[in-house]
Amino acid sequence: MNSPQRKTESTADNRYLSATHEVINQPRPLENYNLYEQDTALREAVLREGAGFANDDLSQFGAWAGQADTIDLGNQANANKPSFRTHDRYGHRVDEVTFHPAYHELMRVALENGLHSSPWTNPGKGAHVARAAKYYLHSQVEAAHCCPITMTFAAIPSIQNQPDLAKLWAPKILANEYDSRNVPDTDKTSVTIGMAMTEKQGGSDVRANTTVAYPTGQEGPGQPYELVGHKWFVSAPMCDAFLVLAQTTSGLSCFLMPRWRPDGTKNPWQVQQLKNKMGNVANASSEVEIRGALAWMVGEEGRGVRTIIEMVAMTRFDCMIGSAAGMRQAVAQASHHCHNRSAFGATLSDQPLMQNVLADLIIENEAALAYTMRVARAMDNQNNEHERLLARLATPVGKYWICKRTPNHAYEAMECIGGSGVMEDCIMPRLFRESPVNAIWEGSGNVQCLDTLRALQKEPETLDAFFKEAAEARGTDRRFDQFLAQLQHDFADISDFQYRARNLVDRMALTMQGSLLLRFGDKNVADAFCASRLQSSGGMNYGNLPSGTNPAAIIKRGTPVVG
């Protein structure tokens, strides 16, 4: 019997047998680039709105925000949810939330860069604009941790209603440092501030709140009370103190409630559980019960909404910044991918239909940014009556529109990337899950529309200021002129405004965005905006730019270049 002949020569080298293919036609990750220098629209807005002095600082910050190690901080903070424990091993109530070190590092950078304080510590021309630009960059790294930054920033106008409390708390609130320790505020030189408004039975209807404040002695502003009740949604429960709404004999009032009493004992403010959210994962949100917690009245008794609304207005503005930033990061990812990947014989960003979608996404982002930064300039000039009135009306309109446009924007950007954009090891799923948050928090869409109506009723001059500002672009584009005229005509009768509010507020936002882009924006962006938003082209989804626009120029302008 013949034995099989031993094979002495391979038909193929084993090295080639183990290599099934070479990975080609895939873009590099979007990292190690300067978020500020690669964002033409942002740089233009910073100069236009009066913050050119901050250009070098923003460039340095943009370089940090684009580093691979920085981007990974956002990934780590979201991959490791906060954990909560009610008691320590000896049975003492601690109500402690533990965060991943990446979260603390992002908080440290934010606070040390004054994202919670700079317009208050260094007020003046361009202060809010510069801060908004830096917040815009920072929230692209990781949006969830920006919640306590925003609330700390926004607390100052409300706390200043009570000068004696502001004297004690403002220096620590405004300190540009971060102290994450779970210790009394008396042992800290810097603190963060949260907000506790909503309850189970009312939600946005805070006048239905049942939490009660009992005076411990003398009653009135600045005096101590003990609070009993609950709060249904409290984000960032590790903040050092909270602005809280509670009922007194005179009605709903505002209180400053620290987590620790002055004697160093724990205030009986007890976290029941952390919310299990679909997004905003790195930020802890909680349900709490208040069992006689010591707090001090802020502002006039019975006027708690009026006192805390100044904080709410600021947080709504940050929602605009955050949503516009989410759009920017989404379209940066999409345009980078399409610039570096080919299909059907051409680079994706050179394919006509993909050009239409990408350009449309960039237009949406630039319109949101232009609107937001114009409001920032108005905030820098509140001593000017036109600017004050404009900010009052433009804030709820912008918060409603920009935040509401973000979820579909995130989805379309994800679709541009395709299957790899759905994978959890890239930022796109996080951007998508984060995208509805700002539209719901700090007052949902209907609440913003009702606040717009409230502004018109209490100060009718706000509408005059809004239309005066928008009309600055009159005569530059026929489509804009017609859109503006129709909107003004439809405001002649607002008897059923509440029913029609969404339609009117939609068009107010589009009118202001169109005006700003026509006056200050890129001509190709402005033309395509008017053609697609102000003149009906038959489609509501992204990718409906009509013929005659210049998508290639818009895409070139909006695509980050990684060296």
Asked if residue 18 belongs to a domain, the reply is no
Report the CATH number at residue 378. 1.20.140.10
3-state helix, strand, coil in the chain (%, to 5): 55, 15, 35
- The whole-number pLDDT of residue 542 equals 93
Decide if pLDDT at 379 tops 60.
yes
Give me the residues paired with residue 248 across strands: 251
**DSSP per-residue letters across 483-495:** HHHHHHHHTS--T
Decide if pLDDT at 1 tops 50.
no
Q: Note whether 296 and 439 are same-domain residues.
A: no
Q: Note whether 272 and 330 are same-domain residues.
A: no
**DSSP per-residue letters across 105-154:** HHHHHHHHTTTTTHHHHS-STTHHHHHHHHHHHHHHH-STTHHHHHHHHH
- The whole-number pLDDT of residue 541 equals 87
Q: Note whether 241 and 353 are same-domain residues.
A: no
The residue out of 301, 332, 360 marking a domain boundary is 301
Asked if residue 69 belongs to a domain, the reply is yes
Q: Note whether 156 and 269 are same-domain residues.
A: yes
Percent of the chain with pLDDT over 90: 90
C-alpha 51: how far from its chain's center? Answer: 20
279 in Cβ contact with 430 (< 8 Å): yes
Mean pLDDT of 60-68: 98
Cα gap 85→64, rounded to integer Å: 34
Mean pLDDT of 133-150: 97
Where does 28-79 show beta strands of DSSP type E?
none
The residue out of 275, 301, 327 marking a domain boundary is 301
Decide if pLDDT at 71 tops 70.
yes
Q: Note whether 296 and 339 are same-domain residues.
A: no
**Digit-coded pLDDT (tens) for 34-56:** 999 999 999 999 999 999 999 99
Asked if residue 485 belongs to a domain, the reply is yes
- The whole-number pLDDT of residue 14 equals 60
Asked if residue 32 belongs to a domain, the reply is no
Nearest to 535 by CA among 484, 492, 470, 463: 484
394 in Cβ contact with 373 (< 8 Å): no
Asked if residue 289 belongs to a domain, the reply is yes
Asked if residue 548 belongs to a domain, the reply is yes
Q: In the structure, what pLDDT confidence band is assigned to residue 13 with cuts at 50, 70 and 90?
A: low
Q: Note whether 263 and 351 are same-domain residues.
A: no
- The whole-number pLDDT of residue 265 equals 95
Decide if pLDDT at 11 tops 70.
no
Exposed e or buried b per residue across 227-239, where buried means at least 16 C-beta atoms within 10 angstroms of its C-beta: bbbbbbbbbbbbb
468 in Cβ contact with 484 (< 8 Å): no
Asked if residue 159 belongs to a domain, the reply is yes
Q: Note whether 329 and 205 are same-domain residues.
A: no
No. of H helices and E strands in the chain?
20, 11
Q: Give the lowest-confidence range in 14-23, 38-47, 64-73, 142-151.
A: 14-23
Q: Note whether 277 and 323 are same-domain residues.
A: no
- The whole-number pLDDT of residue 57 equals 98
Q: Note whether 328 and 419 are same-domain residues.
A: yes
Give me the residues paired with residue 260 across strands: 266
- The whole-number pLDDT of residue 203 equals 84
Higher pLDDT, residue 54 or 536: 54
Q: In the structure, what pLDDT confidence band is assigned to residue 401 with cuts at 50, 70 and 90?
A: very high
Task: Indicate the pairing of strand 285-298 with strand 269-274.
Answer: antiparallel
Count of structural domains within the chain: 2
H or E, element range at 416: helix 385-417
Kindly state the tokens that stand for 383. Answer: 């001593």
Asked if residue 17 belongs to a domain, the reply is no
Mean pLDDT of 434-458: 94
Report the CATH number at residue 66. 2.40.110.20
Q: In the structure, what pLDDT confidence band is assigned to residue 169 with cuts at 50, 70 and 90?
A: very high
Kindly state the tokens that stand for 165. Answer: 């409390």
The residue out of 241, 275, 301 marking a domain boundary is 301
Decide if pLDDT at 515 tops 90.
yes
pTM: 0.95
**Digit-coded pLDDT (tens) for 342-357:** 889 899 999 999 999 9
Backbone region of residue 251 per phi and psi (left: phi > 0; alpha: psi in -120 to 50; beta: other values): left
- The whole-number pLDDT of residue 12 equals 54
Mean pLDDT of 137-144: 98
Decide if pLDDT at 3 tops 60.
no
Q: Note whether 380 and 502 are same-domain residues.
A: yes
Decide if pLDDT at 548 tops 60.
yes
Could you give the dihedral angle defined by the CA atoms of residues 386, 388, 391 and 394, in that order, rounded to the nearest 10 degrees?
-50
H or E, element range at 183: none
Kindly state the tokens that stand for 522. Answer: 């890129």
- Helices 461-470 & 445-458, crossing angle to 10 degrees? 110
Kindly state the tokens that stand for 55. Answer: 């250009």
Q: Note whether 229 and 249 are same-domain residues.
A: yes
Q: In the structure, what pLDDT confidence band is assigned to residue 20 with cuts at 50, 70 and 90?
A: confident
How many residues are present in the chain? 563
**Digit-coded pLDDT (tens) for 223-249:** 999 999 999 999 999 999 999 999 999
Q: Give the lowest-confidence range in 1-5, 284-288, 509-513.
A: 1-5
Please give the residue range of the domain that contains residue 450: 306-558
Instruction: Tell me which residue has tokens 């239905």.
Output: 208
What's the mean pLDDT when you consider all of the chain? 94
Q: Note whether 220 and 154 are same-domain residues.
A: yes
Instruction: Tell me which residue has tokens 């038959």.
Output: 538
